[in-house]
Amino acid sequence: MSLLSISGLDVRHGLLQAVREVSLLVNQGETVALIGANGAGKTTLLRAIAGSHRATRGQIHLDGLDITRMPTYQRVARGIALVPEGRRLFAAMTVEENLQIARASGRPGEWTVDRVMETFPMLKARRKARCGTLSGGEQQATAIGRALMTNPRLLLLDEVSLGLSPLAVDLVYKSVESLIATGATILLVEQDLKRALKVANRVMCMLEGRIVVEGDAKTLTREQITDAYFGHQKRAQTGMAP
Amino acid sequence: MSLVSAVIEGVLLGGYYAMIACGLSFMFGVMRIINLAHGSLAVVAAFALWYIADRLEYDPFLSLIVVLPAMGAIGWLLQRGILERSARSGELVPILSTFGLAIVIENALFEFFGADIRSLAPYVGSLSYDSFDIGGGAFIGELAVLTFAAAILLLGGLQLFLTYTPLGRQIRATAEDPDTVELVGVNSRFVNAVAASIALVTVALAGLFLGLRANFDPYAGSLQLIFAFEAAVIGGTGSLWGTLLGGIVLGVAQTFGAHVHPQGFLLTGHAVFLLVLVGRVYGPGQFFRTYLKSKLG
Amino acid sequence: MAGHSNILIQRWTNLSIGVAIAVAVALVLLFTGPAFLPDAVLDKLTVLFVYVLLAAMWNALAGYGGMISAGQQAFFGLGGYLAIRLSEWGIEPYLALILAALLAGVSALPMSTIVLRLRAGEFAIGMWVIAEVIRLLVNLDPIIQGDTGRSLIALSAFDSAVRRDYTYWTTLASMTVMLGVIFMLLRGRLGSSIQAIRDNEEAAASVGVKVLFAKRIIFVIAAIGCALAGALWLATFTTFQPRSFFGIQWSAYMIFMVLVGGIGRFEGPILGAIIFFLIETWFSTAGVWYLIILGFTALVFSLFLPKGIWGYIEDRFHVLLLPVGYRLRILANSPTAAPGDARQ
């Protein structure tokens, strides 16, 4: 059985229909990349899985359990962890405190503050520093560490490369790869196509709230992806000028 | 009374103001709700303590054992029953809800207890008028010192709780980002209810000291709310110790004003408060902000 | 947009034209009231007009400007006080009433430079503090002998029937004028700004709406209106007592009327004032229970029916009596026709 199963999901963002009839599966141990242009609905979809947005229609199942109506903090207790777009750290609190607070989920597991420090060695020196004073890369590491502290079964990563220098992104993705190597299940949203294709098993492309292309990361052609990204396929079908 | 006595009295009065202000700031800091029923809730506690002292003949300090948890429970119910719901409609609705609540509370108190002015002072022996001789003909009231000490303990305890306990961390995080805090597994509804309980426990304590140092009647809540608000604003909402500073500034302003003119007590306090507001709007910080804005277009 | 010629933008619907005519007729009848209405009715109507005025002013502040004030009694009391003060200086009493209101409006200008920059809750209590400060300052004036109060003595120069009529007309005229001012404001360019602010202040500012300017205008108008109400209350009941005129109960009444009647709608406060007036007539002998019920009702409405009765009616039945907004009517024979229409 797949770890995450979504069927027919509709999600509104304010007055906008951000996610339309989305159905997808993520299997245990898989890494799935969600790509698409800005405004395609990727972040809203991740937030809907995590519980920050309520779906108006459709279902979300985690390992067979229907979590569609479950409040956010309970989903975290069941094993979903979202690293939000823009990190969203508690800036007035220290790195250590940000990590400690994630223990609220109450999930047993191997992740501790020390283990996070081992996984992201750059944070060792910044353990007692306020998160508002961290660099972009350090913040991203803390945010991922914070999510890991909940001992998740499913890790959702939203644009972890956003706003970071290439070097910092390298470091972040090295950690992501080591997580994948330990068997983690990851659903990630990524603007950087190259990185997304490099780490993912499968790729899904969203356009205007729908999933328009889905396939194996290694076999999907560049052309198929860019068509889906920019919607050429759709226009070709309706015969209207772009 | 000498000026020195007046200032010292003002500083000690600041302790009381800090006590009554901290619950108001706390609730605003965590839930972004300004509770207009804050003052009348302190009066509820004062009446409860009075009733227990007068009818059941228990010492007011001892009665706290019952009144503090009871007020905490009321805080919980208040949050879950009223505030949570009103906050969903936006920032403005809780103001209306708590205002309506304040009107209900003070008039219900009047219906129940009548118009008579009460005090807790008769039930604590000589505490309310004993004083220490600090030389030079100046005296400071034992009660005032006790109040100030209680305020320090309260604020200190609260600060320790927020800094070192897991629940305290959750409260701080919820205050900063209630949306994200859920994403790390914190039940923000629970945390808000805890915060409201804590706020009302502080209100109950303030109610005790209100009843000890002054008279109160069913409609005394309005003035207490105003004092709490002024102390919180003067101190700058943000830190608990800022609230203590705000309380002290307010207290000193008031006692200084009373020293100068018989009607000066209230007016000087209000004047200092308004000055601080003007300073906040047009002060150096704001000046630089508007200057930069005009330069950057 | 395809087919735009099939969409009409209207200000007046048939219903609102009918209502406007009815309102005009009603006003004429009311003005001729003293000729055929008994004294007791005139007195009651005078009180009702004051309530409508207060409700409309509080609604302008909160419903249109997004400013919730727990301190409008500052201006209510100031109006009463200034009327007495001006009358002591020899100004003819009914003129003093109007001047008092205008002076209060002037005083609101420097006040606005500070209070308008406050956040929501701070503004609410901040105005309450200002009411207290003004009350304390007023008490310093020797002609106000503390809480025993002071009468508008000059009124006794009038014969009581004449006084009743003059007060009635002044109150009716004040209410009509202030309602008219609000109405014209909402219909004008500022009106769209105001409604944008009401719906979303940040978004309004981002498209260039002069938020502070609009709020200031509303603040000053509300100050004048509330001060007028206070002055007229003085004219009706003759005696000015600071504690009563500057009391928080006036805010309680205003909040009740607007919450129950309908916030942010033009017709809401009028409905709320009528309801409040009826409740007061029936329950004022019930002592504080009356206030408990008011507070409780305001609380319940804020939680479950925040748009008030009129807001509910408008949303449910799409009724628009007075032409304050715009309507889009999609004509029946156009390809884009759909049942119902959109209201701004």
The whole-number pLDDT of residue A237 equals 54
pLDDT of B14 > 60? The answer is yes
| 8 Å CB contact between C31 and C172 | yes
Check B182 against A82: CB less than 8 A apart. no
Contact between B176 and B51 under an 8 Å Cβ cutoff? The reply is no
Q: Which of B30, B184, B190 to mutate to test the interface with A (most CBs of A within 10 A)?
A: B184
Whether there are 3 or more C-beta pairs closer than 8 Å between C and A is: no
Q: How much is the average pLDDT of B197-212?
A: 96
Structural domains in chain A, CATH included, are 4-89+152-238 (3.40.50.300)
- The average pLDDT across B206-235 equals 94
Sequence letter at residue B200: L
Mean pLDDT of C128-151: 88
Segment C7-30 mean pLDDT: 79
- What size, in residues, is chain A? 242
Residue A148 predicted with pLDDT over 90: yes
Which residues on chain B are in Cβ contact (under 8 Å) with C130? Answer: 274
Of B172, B177, B186, the CB nearest to A104: B186
Residue contact B173–A90, C-beta within 8 A: yes
Report the neighbours of B using a cutoff of 3 or more CB pairs below 8 angstroms. Answer: A, C
Query: C201 to chain B, minimum CA–CA distance in Å?
Result: 12
**Which residues of B, range 253-272, sit inside 8 Å of C by Cβ?**
263, 266-267, 270-271
CA B125 to chain centre: 26
Which sequence spans correspond to the domains of chain B?
3-296
pLDDT digits (tens, 9 = 90+) for C99-125: 999 999 999 999 998 898 888 888 999
For helices B264-282 and B221-235, give the axis angle rounded to 10 degrees: 40
Q: Please state, in angstroms and rounded to a whole number, the distance separating the CA atoms of residues B205 and B258.
A: 26
Quickly state the pLDDT bin for C9 (edges 50, 70, 90).
low
B88 CB within 8 Å of a chain A CB: no
Q: Do C133 and B274 touch (CB under 8 A)?
A: yes
- Chain B residues with CB under 8 Å of C146 CB are none
Nearest Cα residue to B66 out of B178, B204, B240, B209: B204
Q: Are C153 and C239 in contact (CB under 8 A)?
A: no
Q: Does C136 touch chain B (CB under 8 A)?
A: yes
| Neighboring chain C residues of B92 at a CB cutoff of 8 Å | 62, 66, 68, 120
Query: What is the model's pTM?
Result: 0.88
Higher pLDDT, A222 or B180: B180
pLDDT at C277 over 70: yes
- Mean pLDDT computed over C47-64: 94
Q: Does B227 touch chain C (CB under 8 A)?
A: no
CATH no. of B3-296: 1.10.3470
Helix (H) or strand (E) holding B131: strand B131-133
Q: Determine contact, residues A55/A68, Cβ cutoff 8 Å.
A: yes
CA distance C168 to B183: 62
Q: Which residue has the higher pLDDT, C196 or C258?
A: C258
Write the single-letter amino acid at C149: G
In a domain, C114, yes or no: yes
Chain B residues within 8 A of A93 when measuring between CB atoms: 169, 172-173, 176
Pick from A52, A91, A107: which is nearest to B183 by CB? A52
Give the model's confidence band at B296: pLDDT under 50 very low, under 70 low, under 90 confident, else very high: low
Please give the DSSP secondary-structure letter assigned to residue B134: -
pLDDT of residue A236: 52
Model pLDDT, residue A228: 72
For residues C197 and C64, the answer to whether their CB atoms sit within 8 Å is yes
Nearest to C122 by CA among B228, B252, B240, B250: B228
pLDDT for residue C35: 83
What b/e sequence results for C95-104 when a residue is b if at least 16 CB atoms lie within 10 Å of its CB, and e otherwise? Answer: ebbbbbbebb
Distance from CA of A67 to the nearest CA of B (A): 15
Q: What is the average per-residue pLDDT within A144-160?
A: 93
Provide the pLDDT confidence category of residue B284 given band limits of 50, 70 and 90.
Answer: low
pLDDT in tens, C278-321: 998 888 777 788 889 999 999 999 999 888 888 888 887 776 66
Q: Which residue on chain C is closest to B269 by alpha carbon?
A: C133
Name which of C70, C129, C295 is nearest B104 (Cβ-Cβ): C295
CA distance A124 to B273: 45
Q: How far is CA C132 from CA B267, B272, C135, in A?
A: 9, 14, 5
Pairing status of strand A16-26 against strand A4-13: antiparallel
Q: How far apart are CA C51 and CA C257, in angstroms?
A: 8
Residues on chain A touching B182 (C-beta within 8 angstroms): 51-52, 71-73, 76
Yes or no: say if A131 and A91 are a contact pair by the CB < 8 Å rule: yes
CB B182 within 8 A of CB B174: no
B150-164, B192-206, C155-169, C229-243: which range is least confident on average? Answer: C155-169
Predicted confidence (pLDDT) at residue B9 exceeds the cutoff of 60: yes
Cβ of B184 within 8 Å of Cβ of A105? The answer is yes
**A87: nearest CA in chain B?**
B180
Burial A95-130 (b: 16+ CB within 10 A, else e): bbbbbbbbbbbebeeebebeebbebbebbeebeeeb
> Which pLDDT band holds residue C173 (cuts at 50, 70, 90)?
very high
| Tokens describing residue A152 | 């998740």
Residue B129: per-residue pLDDT: 79
Q: Tell me the C-alpha to C-alpha distance, in Å, between residue B154 and each of B128, B160, B206, B231.
A: 21, 10, 10, 16
Across the range C131-146, mean pLDDT stands at 89
According to DSSP H, which parts of C146-287 are helical?
Answer: 160-187, 189-199, 201-206, 211-237, 242-245, 249-261, 268-283
Domain annotation covers residue C223 = yes
- Nearest residue to C292 (alpha-carbon basis) of A93, B220, B100, A155: B100
More confident residue, C201 or B83: B83
- By C-alpha distance, the chain C residue nearest B229 is C125
- B34 and C121: CB-CB below 8 Å? yes
Chain B nearest-CA distance from C42, in A, is 31
Taking residues C203-228, report their average pLDDT: 87
ipTM: 0.88
Check pLDDT > 70 for residue C175.
yes
Contacts of C201 in chain B (CB under 8 A): none
C318 in any annotated domain: no
pLDDT grade for B295, boundaries at 50, 70 and 90: low
Task: Identify whether C323 is part of a domain.
Answer: no
Question: Is the pLDDT score of C338 beyond 60?
Answer: no
**If we measure between CA atoms, which residue out of A207, C309, C299, C314 comes closest to residue B105?**
C299
SS3 B216: strand
pLDDT digits (tens, 9 = 90+) for B265-278: 999 999 999 999 88
Q: B111 and C62 in contact by Cβ < 8 A?
A: no
* Bridge partner list, A4: A26, A62
Q: What is the mean pLDDT of residues C158-180?
A: 90
- Asked if the C-beta of C139 comes within 8 angstroms of chain B's C-beta atoms, the answer is yes
C326 pLDDT higher than 60:
no
How far C325 CA sits from the closest chain B CA (Å)? 24
The tokens of B251 are what? 């207290």
pLDDT band at residue A61 under the 50/70/90 scheme: very high
Residue B223, Cβ density class (10 Å: 0-12 exposed, 13-18 middle, ≥19 buried) = middle
Work out the pLDDT band at C273, boundaries 50, 70, 90.
very high
Min distance A239 CA to chain B CA atoms (Å)? 43
Number of domains observed in the structure of chain C: 1
Identity of the residue in B169, B183, B187 whose CB atom sits nearest the CB atom of A84: B183
CB atoms within 10 A of CB C237: 15
- Per the CB < 8 A criterion, the answer to whether B251 and B18 are in contact is no
CATH at residue C161: 1.10.3470
Shortest Cα distance from C23 to chain B (angstroms)? 31
Q: For position B273, what pLDDT does the model report? A: 93
Which pLDDT band, with edges at 50, 70 and 90, does C334 fall under? Answer: very low
Question: What value does the mean pLDDT take over residues A4-21?
Answer: 89
Say how far apart CA C271 and CA C258 lie, in whole Å: 9
What's the domain range around C284? Answer: 34-305
Closest Cβ–Cβ partner in B85, B92, B263 for C120: B92
Determine the pLDDT at residue C207.
75
Written as one string, the DSSP assignment of chain A is --SEEEEEEEEEETTEEEEEEEEEEE-TT-EEEEEE-TTSSHHHHHHHHHTSS-EEEEEEEETTEE-TT--HHHHHHHTEEEE-TT----TTSBHHHHHHHGGGG---SS--HHHHHHHSGGGGGGTTSBGGGS-HHHHHHHHHHHHHTT--SEEEEE-TTTT--HHHHHHHHHHHHHHHHTT-EEEEE-S-HHHHHHH-SEEEEEETTEEEEEEETTTS-HHHHHHHHHTHHHHHHHT---
